[in-house]
Amino acid sequence: MDPLDNLYVVIHNIYSIAKLYEAARISYGFGVKTFIISKAVGSAAQEGVPEVQKLALKMNRNLLYLADLDDVITILKPDHTYVIVKKERAGIQFNPYDIAKELINGKKVALIFGGAEPGLTKKDIEKGTPIYIELADDIGSLGQLSICLYEVLKALNKNSF
């Protein structure tokens, strides 16, 4: 079984069609099998979701579109949920090797990224373990998503546990 089968990328509270599409493209490009949209609003919901669905079908990937983070957690039942936020909102630094270990051991891991500025609410952050990515604090959620997936994939490929 591919460890990435148990990695779920969640974009929550998204308004932008372009940002939604790019988040899915980045996720699928790094090998993520299941991309989840939680609380899409406005044009992201009306036009963005169908575009991402087409992308998922073309790439033979999965797409889930859910109302909120509670649905994500209830339906997926991840063993660990990480919420990626700015440093001042998290006490733990992102460690790709911890996530890679969980995936290799068959654990389900959800990574939640905010889709709109200024990011996730306090209530959203409480849905998982808030972590921050060192030196990537103010680059936006797409930048954080790219770094996070790159580092997890690199850790999986190194198999140095």
- pLDDT tens, residue by residue, 2-53: 999 999 999 999 999 999 999 999 999 999 999 999 999 999 999 999 999 9
User: What's the number of domains the chain is made of?
Assistant: 1
Residue 130 in contact with residue 85, Cβ under 8 Å?
Answer: yes
Domain with 146 in it: what CATH number?
Answer: 3.40.1280.10
Q: What is the pLDDT of residue 158?
A: 82
Q: How many CB atoms lie within 10 A of CB 43?
A: 15
- Counting Cβ atoms within 10 Å, is residue 5 exposed (0-12), middle (13-18) or buried (19+)? middle
- Whether residue 84 is predicted with pLDDT greater than 50 in this model: the reply is yes
Q: What is the DSSP letter of 68?
A: S
Q: What is the pLDDT of residue 88?
A: 83
Confidence tier at 119 by pLDDT (50, 70, 90) = confident
Rounded CA-CA distance 159/161 in Å is 6
Query: Domain range holding 30?
Result: 3-158
Q: What is the pLDDT of residue 161?
A: 47
Predicted TM-score (pTM) of the model is 0.94
